[in-house]
Structure 1
Amino acid sequence: MLLATLAGCSLWNSGSSKPLPADLGANVAVLGVRQAWTARIGNVGTLPLDVHVAGNVVTLASADGVVAAVDARTGGDLWRATLAEPLSAGVGSDGKSAAVVLRSNALVLLESGKERWRQPLAAQVFTPPLVAGGRVFVLSADRSVAAYDGATGRKLWNQQRPGEALVLRQAGVLLAVGDTLVVGFSGRMVGLNPDNGSVRWEAPLGSSRGTNDVERLVELVGRTSRVADSICARAFQAAVGCVNVARGSTTWTQPASGAEGVHGDGDAIFGSESNGAVVAWRRSDGSRLWTTDRLKHRKLTAPLLLGRSVVVGDDTGLVHLLSRADGSPLNRVTTDGSGIAAAPVVAADTLVVVTRNGGIYGFRPD
């Protein structure tokens, strides 16, 4: 199956002139934040990177094949592996094992920094693998999902779905919820039996539209927000919505024009739109709580809800902390200026961000 790929936002930023970002004004630090430590991983570039958190451990990777587990309390390495081959997706981890996909279409499992096994894959992969329940699950760009035995690398099953010829070159939806594997297939959230790949339920969040491959493209993108049986996600440039995974049904959807995932809690979810607006929706029914244009025309990451703050990174390397109540600025901190490469995470009471040049930054409250 021959597939074309589309970089997440490049099409939508094309044009003869890019609008100037909104002026941020002076930084007034309503919420005190200090840089606690820095580390390095190597150039991340455009690698679809998911920074994985398990307790105090943050696992991440560089585009050229360095994979590391970092102690979020100190910024020091717990282990580091050099695969010496470029990656197409990373990192998935259960806190013990870490999985990445090479650009040469091979799945690699590491334990404590040592390669345990690798298996060839039939298609490209842009979604970090999921390591859960002693297995490794892979969502490929040909819209197939496969399960591998974590101990041996043996393929256990494969589920293939039809789809359009065009796919996004960015991470999709792949997570475990109880005894169900939840996957994004085009614009639908699908619950699979992790033992054999059979479909348990499907819930639509976005639908194809338009007359050509680009206009018809509809994909669910990571990150997602899960609270109990509710999972909220974004359909690329189409909608934001929530699904009840116990019932396997869509709770609500709202039109939204963004390319990055969402985050939130039981009351609200938050997302960054393609024009730099940050939006809050009520989780129960999708009604809009607030919108701020303070970061307009900045390319933003998916947000992280952290206490009273909604945290987003931008393409200049700034990290913005906005009020969860109304989107007003609480603080902003700087990194190396190369752009934030992945959605921010929190571990060991530390806000961790990674830049495209491979800088790892740990911030803590003052």
Structure 2
Amino acid sequence: MPTIPTSAFADQLQTLDHEDFRSFVRELWSLAGWETAVEGDTVVCTRNGRKRRLLVLPPGRLARFRYEPPPTGQVDRVVSPRLEDGEAATIGGTELTLVDAEDIRHRLVYGCDSAGGAQLWDGYFDVDLRGPAWEQSRDRWLWAHAALGAVSLVLVAGAVAVLVFGLPFLEAESAPESRVTTFDSGLDREIAVGPAEWESQEPTGIPWGTTVYAGTRAGTLKALAGKSGETLWTTELNDRLRTPIVANGTVYVRSVSGVYAVDALTGDRQWSYTNITGNSSHYDIFYSTSTRLSVVNGSVYFSDGEELVALDATTGERRWRVGTSTSVAGAPTVLDGVVYVGGLDGVVSAHDVANGETVWQKTDDDETFYSSGVPNVDPEADSLLVAGNSALYALDPETGETRWRFDSVVSGGMSPPVVLNGSKPLAHDDTANVTGDSMVYVTGAREFLYGLAPESGEESLRYREEAAQFYPPVVGASGGNESSASVYLVGQSPVTSAASTVTALNASTGSERWRLEQNQTLLAPTTAGETLYAGTTEGEVLALGAENGTERWRVNAFSGEVTGAVTVITDPLGGDSVDSRVRLGIEGHHDWLTDRGGTPTGNASGLSVVDTNVSAAVAAKERVEARVTLVNPGDEPDSTTVTVEPDWETADSPFQATVELGPDEGRDVVASFAAPNETGRRSTVVTVGDQRFEQTTTIVDRPAHQISGLDSPETVWADDDIEVIASVRNTGNVTATAPVALAFDGEVVDSTEQTVGPNETASVTLTLAPGGAPAGEYNYTVATGDSVRSASIEVLAVDRREDALPVVSQVFGVTLLLSGLALGWRTLTDLRTSLRARREPTES
């Protein structure tokens, strides 16, 4: 009699749950003479000493996705209730022999006793294993699959038609005729200028508070905001500059050509002195950190070749000029009415500050002095510390006699020394980092930092960094809760990939607090408060936290190399450099080095007017701005009255305000008011107290504002709104405000005003809401007083079928396609199995 076909046999196996199928497999192998046992999902079969471990897979499709098989080392065959492709199954990356439904049927029908096989089958299934019904069912099975295949083809073809041509039973109704809305001839609307306004704000465009000054080899001098690095002003001196220094509100900077004095607040040049020999042969061999000048007691001292020069710090006039018989290295040092200079020919000399006459001169033919010395102010015995080629000398400032000498362990130029007085404050607030230890710090040309006792030169500490070229060290606040100061070193090391390293050492012990590598070449550092500042050879200036080296800001301030060190002030109006490099006299200093007094500030009574500025050119009907920058240089609060009075009639002129400022405080007072309608030159008088300033404003015709472009979505739902972005261009040479309006369906639906700079384009965002307008094509219009531009948009009705037609068609088409493909795959799989079963022998 005919036997159940393979495909029908597989279908029957898949009706069992996992446990019944596992039991069926165990009994089938038992009929074949194997001893069997079940261990989890595995059937263990043993016969004649051979053992096979059969992993029985679950019948259901979803169950097989969720199923996690045991490790592959515990099984050697896989049993599946389905008809599978191939003769192996991959479990956990390992190929195992596969026993599928066809193999199971063959074992049951041909590998077992007929009665036993039939009994096993009947114990699990309601259909007969053998019988005449299976002869006709094979043909019916094939015809059923053929019908399913035809249905699958119809579904796929229908899906393609829907996706390409849409749904014919949801045809859109024709849209109404296009509606056009526009302005007749531009927007006839005046701008709203409003009443006069007063505003008081932090000074803009001038330094205020902590400010950093830096120069370049190309001659650019800049003031940068200490909090952010933002450029406050720039002055082009067109000369190779050295490190700047600030005294009494003036920035002094040495150059190849002379000396420049620049207002620290505004950047204006106050004077320049260029009557020098022009000998710049030693410009680059001296330490690049050097200011090459010092400013003490109202005089500027600097060297010019083999001469020493003194200038009036206020006017730049020369007070005296004397010979030194040597090329002076670095900046002169001033102490107790004497100017000290060191020279490359082994000469150190002392000169009277009044006339430059020589007080004493010391010559050492075997030595080269790279700096003019740093004073060690001591109640018992002051000394002048001068760096030589590979030694540091402590000289008696009155006679030049050597008190002690310290020799470096390596040859090469010693850096200018740093003297830390343990009983004096370091920071500009006169409180931070007072340490009980006094120390002299000096570096060799490479590798070593030494800490020496000031009174004897005895070595107290030594720090070594392999193959590093150090800049002169600087001592400053350590930040955080540290009580002792820090010594900061910047070095260039050829043995590491970093261009520069910054190292912070404990000033008392020499132990390393932190170390930072930089991919740019850093120049000499300086500190102010708890911040370390430095420039780079790439034109950057950066600020690091003294506590751990965290970068606070970094700006690309210049297009070329920064020269030497930067300097820092806290009072640009009348103050001095407060950074430790200047205060401790490392190659240039001011009065603080010797008297250790607080930073002097101006004591003038009354408020000072730094600047007044009234708009130079304004379009008719726009706002004129009058800005007055006031500072209080005194020690007491003060107030004044600011009055602004234009020569044309306004509703509320003259404008008047009272300004109150505390000591060292500055403010910008800004008044803005409407310009007249008539063009021409008009004047505005600004009065501050009893000071009167008059400035001229040119009133010009209002520039035209053209709409150069419109941007919006192509469609909008009738109950929604969208943004329309209009590009408005000011075609004139002055800033002006334009009214901008959006019209739709005969009504203005949105409007605003936009201020646009000269020859600039601004984006104006307007809102378009159809307000329930019927579906269809519309034109919307955007207009200024000088220009009109239109664009089209389609309004979609929420309750119309055509609005949802594209989405419905796509969803329906994709659903048909997926259904047809799934049915076709199933049909082809079963049909292939049925055809294979027809070729099997029948058993009668």
Paired position in structure 2 for 1:264: 475
Gap change, CA 1:38 and 1:230, over 3 Å in 2 = farther
Q: How far apart, CA to CA, are the structure 2 residues paired with 1:201 and 1:56?
A: 39
Q: Which amino acid aligns with 1:219?
A: G
Paired position in structure 1 for 2:309: 108
Q: Which amino acid aligns with 1:249?
A: E
Deviations 1:101-150 (A, max 9, x none): 223x2222212311122222322223111133222111101232111111
Deviations 1:188-237 (A, max 9, x none): 33221111101122334x223xxxxxxx4x22224736344323222211
Q: How far apart, CA to CA, are the structure 2 residues paired with 1:156 and 1:119?
A: 12
Paired position in structure 2 for 1:226: 420
Larger Rg: 2
Gap change, CA 1:332 and 1:59, over 3 Å in 2 = same
- Residue 282 of structure 1 deviates from its aligned partner by 1.0
Gap change, CA 1:101 and 1:189, over 3 Å in 2 = same
If each structure's helix is expressed as a fraction of its own residues, which one has the higher value? 2
Q: How far apart, CA to CA, are the structure 2 residues paired with 1:70 and 1:331?
A: 26
**Contact 1:37–1:75 under 8 Å retained in 2:** yes
Q: Which SS does the other structure have where 1:273 is aligned?
A: strand
**Contact 2:337–2:352 under 8 Å retained in 1:** yes
**Contact 1:260–1:273 under 8 Å retained in 2:** yes
**Contact 1:317–1:335 under 8 Å retained in 2:** yes
Return the match for 1:51 from 240, 244, 252: 244
Q: Which SS does the other structure have where 2:469 is aligned?
A: coil
- Residue 338 of structure 1 deviates from its aligned partner by 1.6
The aligned length equals 305
**Contact 1:73–1:348 under 8 Å retained in 2:** no
- Residue 260 of structure 1 deviates from its aligned partner by 1.2
Q: How far apart, CA to CA, are the structure 2 residues paired with 1:43 and 1:153?
A: 28
Paired position in structure 2 for 1:16: none
Q: Which amino acid aligns with 2:514?
A: W
1:161 and 2:364 are equivalent in the alignment: yes
Gap change, CA 1:186 and 1:287, over 3 Å in 2 = same
Paired position in structure 1 for 2:334: 131
Gap change, CA 1:78 and 1:252, over 3 Å in 2 = farther
CA RMSD of aligned residues (A): 2.9
Pairwise mapping of residues 140-289 of structure 1 onto structure 2 (< 5 A)?
140-163=343-366, 172=371, 174-178=373-377, 179-204=382-407, 206-208=408-410, 216=411, 218-222=412-416, 224=418, 226-228=420-422, 229-256=438-465, 257-265=468-476, 266-275=484-493, 276-289=500-513
Q: Which SS does the other structure have where 2:331 is aligned?
A: coil
Q: Which amino acid aligns with 2:509?
A: D
- Residue 349 of structure 1 deviates from its aligned partner by 4.8
**Contact 1:98–1:131 under 8 Å retained in 2:** no
- Residue 186 of structure 1 deviates from its aligned partner by 2.6
Q: How far apart, CA to CA, are the structure 1 residues paired with 2:260 and 2:417?
A: 21
Paired position in structure 2 for 1:92: 294
- Residue 277 of structure 1 deviates from its aligned partner by 0.9
Return the match for 1:68 from 260, 270, 274: 260
Gap change, CA 1:180 and 1:52, over 3 Å in 2 = farther
Worse-matched range after superposition: 309-318 or 329-338: 329-338
Q: Which amino acid aligns with 1:174?
A: G
Worse-matched range after superposition: 329-338 or 242-251: 242-251
**Contact 1:50–1:128 under 8 Å retained in 2:** no
- Residue 31 of structure 1 deviates from its aligned partner by 5.7
Q: Which amino acid aligns with 2:294?
A: G
**Contact 1:50–1:92 under 8 Å retained in 2:** no
**Contact 1:279–1:290 under 8 Å retained in 2:** yes
Gap change, CA 1:238 and 1:163, over 3 Å in 2 = farther
- Residue 50 of structure 1 deviates from its aligned partner by 4.6
Gap change, CA 1:290 and 1:163, over 3 Å in 2 = farther
- Residue 182 of structure 1 deviates from its aligned partner by 1.5
Q: How far apart, CA to CA, are the structure 1 residues paired with 2:249 and 2:421?
A: 21
**Contact 1:187–1:219 under 8 Å retained in 2:** yes
Q: Which SS does the other structure have where 2:330 is aligned?
A: coil
Q: Which amino acid aligns with 2:469?
A: G
Paired position in structure 2 for 1:17: none
- Residue 332 of structure 1 deviates from its aligned partner by 0.6
Q: Which amino acid aligns with 1:288?
A: E
**Contact 1:41–1:62 under 8 Å retained in 2:** no
Q: Which amino acid aligns with 2:449?
A: V
**Contact 1:97–1:131 under 8 Å retained in 2:** no
Q: Which amino acid aligns with 1:32?
A: S
User: Identical aligned pairs, as a percentage?
Assistant: 22
Q: How far apart, CA to CA, are the structure 2 residues paired with 1:41 and 1:240?
A: 36
Q: Which SS does the other structure have where 2:251 is aligned?
A: strand
Q: How far apart, CA to CA, are the structure 2 residues paired with 1:94 and 1:54?
A: 9
Paired position in structure 2 for 1:212: none
- Residue 162 of structure 1 deviates from its aligned partner by 4.5
**Contact 1:232–1:242 under 8 Å retained in 2:** yes
Q: Which amino acid aligns with 1:177?
A: N
Structure 1: give runs of 5+ residues left out of the alignment.
Answer: 1-29, 209-215, 354-366
Gap change, CA 1:96 and 1:203, over 3 Å in 2 = same
Worse-matched range after superposition: 74-83 or 125-134: 74-83
- Residue 62 of structure 1 deviates from its aligned partner by 1.0
Return the match for 1:300 from 502, 522, 526: 522
Paired position in structure 2 for 1:5: none
Gap change, CA 1:251 and 1:61, over 3 Å in 2 = same
Q: Which of structures 1 and 2 has the larger relative contact order (alpha carbons within 8 angstroms, sep 6+)?
A: 1
Q: Which SS does the other structure have where 1:64 is aligned?
A: coil
**Contact 1:192–1:198 under 8 Å retained in 2:** yes
Paired position in structure 2 for 1:24: none
**Contact 1:52–1:60 under 8 Å retained in 2:** yes
Gap change, CA 1:159 and 1:320, over 3 Å in 2 = same
**Contact 1:344–1:352 under 8 Å retained in 2:** no
Gap change, CA 1:139 and 1:79, over 3 Å in 2 = same
Gap change, CA 1:84 and 1:158, over 3 Å in 2 = closer
**Contact 1:41–1:61 under 8 Å retained in 2:** no
Q: How far apart, CA to CA, are the structure 2 residues paired with 1:286 and 1:316?
A: 31
- Residue 63 of structure 1 deviates from its aligned partner by 0.9
Q: How far apart, CA to CA, are the structure 2 residues paired with 1:261 and 1:42?
A: 27
Deviations 1:24-49 (A, max 9, x none): xxxxxx9634323233444226xxx4
Runs of 4+ in 1 over 4 A off after TM superposition: 349-353
If each structure's strand is expressed as a fraction of its own residues, which one has the higher value? 1
Q: How far apart, CA to CA, are the structure 2 residues paired with 1:173 and 1:153?
A: 15
